[in-house]
Chain A
Amino acid sequence: EDQVTQSPEALRLQEGESSSLNCSYTVSGLRGLFWYRQDPGKGPEFLFTLYSAGEEKEKERLKATLTKKESFLHITAPKPEDSATYLCAAATNSNSGYALNFGKGTSLLVTP
């Protein structure tokens, strides 16, 4: 059974304190690994797609990386506006119709 596991469940950082969120996956053939940001009361917002091990993508203070077993979302010098829940999701050979398997998310709080 495909599984996507995110850690930690919650993370509190001071402004400027860099850290990483982890997404480990056990799936039958990864076709793509996705990161989303979700603000309270809103729908998830697409951040990145990674397709193969070694791939990296960056957007402002965020950088996503992918290995054969996990993905990391690195947050460099975070600001309070980076506070949100970050979701990762996998598209796999078990999925049809382009459905995604989501992890439970990491809730990030950045304090001034």
Chain B
Amino acid sequence: NAGVTQTPKFQVLKTGQSMTLQCAQDMNHNSMYWYRQDPGMGLRLIYYSASEGTTDKGEVPNGYNVSRLNKREFSLRLESAAPSQTSVYFCASSETGVWGYTFGSGTRLTVV
């Protein structure tokens, strides 16, 4: 039972570089989410996808883009990384109408 799989687990970027964080779920969930977690700030929503083909901004979307590639996959892209984007990124998924998320194990990103 894989659940929600995130890749990579760790990444170091230089300021200005781009990268894509990958997320895939095998639970046939309709909704998927990207959160970032920073010390003292809690989990903050970046983007979400309520269903395949739709995406919406969350609380902190600036500097990020997302793609809901299909029902299973939801990727997060940093076009020009900044030190302020150093964080742990979590992907999550849920059934439509149900808030009991299943989280991935996270990607720890450092931008230098």
Contact = CB atoms under 8 A, between A and B. Distances in A.
A43 B5 CA distance: 11
Interface residues of A, number: 22
Contacts of B58: 99
B22 to A, nearest CB: 15
Contacts of A43: 4, 90, 92, 103-106
Q: Main SS of the interface on chain A?
A: loop
A98 B106 contact: no
B104 A34 contact: no
A4 B105 CA distance: 23
B40 A98 contact: no
B20 to A, nearest CB: 19
Contact of A99 (B45, B90, B96): B45
B94 interface: yes
Given A97-B31, A98-B94, A46 B100 contact: yes
B35 to A, nearest CB: 8
Interface of B: 4, 31, 33, 35, 40-45, 48-50, 56, 58, 90, 92, 94, 96-106
